[in-house]
Amino acid sequence: MEITDKRVVVTGAASGIGKALVHAFKEAGAGAVVAVDIDAEGVEQAAQEIGGLAIAANVANEEDIQKVIQEANDYAEGIDIFCSNAGIAGVPGFIEMETSDWQNIWEINVMSHIFAAKHVIPQMLEQGGGYLVNTASAAGLLTQLGASGYAVTKAAAVSFAEWIKITYGSRGIGVSCLCPQAVNTPMLAMGPGVAGVDGMIEPEVAAEDVLDAIRNERFLVTPHEEVLEYIQRKASDRDRWIDGMQRLQEKFVDSFSDIKDYQNPNKKED
């Protein structure tokens, strides 16, 4: 799909990849860009920078997603591209996570994609086509050491994007799934950790890769090329890949307090 004159919605647009996306779409000639974020002040600033519409919304709330789609329709008379980009890192570890922690990260990292697709696909089908971009993570293809909630929800996000593409791709609905490793965003303000083993890229790099994927209708968007090699290794020999991930975990285990505390319950501290 070409970007010129298209009507675009981007969630998580107040900062990071989302903000880079609204700028990239504007520079590529999009007809209208709608910036969405729970951070009302930040998203207003992002929208002003590109002459677009700002909408403050909680993407984990289905009614808010419906409101976003309605306001975007009123503003631009339709939606051609919907980038469901908002996400959180959530609470790290596993044993110490509360049920509420799981519910929170699930609603933001998974249900937001589901709500967006559920309510925008019908009008895209009616207008003859459209495009969805779901931001997941390389963690959704591989895993995230030290963070069970992030690993599980990002895997679910990838799986859902695949299902949408399989189900609606032949009916004019394009789908791309963004799966980067470390990106220089507020989420990684404390450092990239294990996600930065292959370097940390700027949000603008991820955004340009997304636009290229839309133009070429490419499903998997992996700004870190190493990820493609890793998923091939995983597919060819899962046990060997798991062994390798366990060895990598040992190098970073001191930063995973939950894992360190529970991997050897008989260990005595000096």
Which tens digit of pLDDT belongs to each residue from 3-58? 999 999 999 999 999 999 999 999 999 999 999 999 999 999 999 999 999 999 99
Q: Which CATH number characterizes residue 59's domain?
A: 3.40.50.720
Residue 36: inside a domain: yes
Residue 19: inside a domain: yes
Residue 158: inside a domain: yes
> What is the extent of the structural domain holding 136?
7-229
Residue 22: inside a domain: yes
Whether the predicted pLDDT of 262 surpasses 50: no
Number of domains in the chain: 1
Say what the pLDDT of residue 45 is: 97
Whether the predicted pLDDT of 188 surpasses 90: no
Q: Where are the beta strands (DSSP E) in 46-172?
A: 53-56, 81-84, 130-135
Say what the pLDDT of residue 200 is: 78
SS3 content of the chain, % helix, strand, coil (to 5): 55, 15, 30
Whether the predicted pLDDT of 220 surpasses 50: yes
Mean pLDDT (the chain) is: 91
Whether the predicted pLDDT of 92 surpasses 50: yes
Say what the pLDDT of residue 245 is: 92
Whether the predicted pLDDT of 138 surpasses 90: yes
Whether the predicted pLDDT of 243 surpasses 70: yes
Report DSSP state, residue 74: H
% the chain with pLDDT above 70: 90
Contact 229, 191 (CB under 8 A): no
Question: pLDDT confidence of 265, banded at 50, 70, 90?
Answer: very low
More confident residue, 256 or 239: 239
Q: Which two tokens stand for residue 1?
A: 């799909």
Whether the predicted pLDDT of 168 surpasses 90: yes
Residue 2: inside a domain: no
Whether the predicted pLDDT of 268 surpasses 70: no
Q: How far is CA 14 from CA 26, 95, 110, 153, 170, in A?
A: 15, 32, 19, 22, 33
Mind listing the pLDDT tens digit for each residue in 100-134? 999 999 999 999 999 999 999 999 999 999 999 99
Interatomic CA distance for residues 79 and 14, integer angstroms = 20
Residue 137: inside a domain: yes
Q: Which two tokens stand for residue 214?
A: 């839309």
Residue 165: inside a domain: yes
Least confident of 175-179, 198-202, 253-257: 253-257
Residue 154: inside a domain: yes
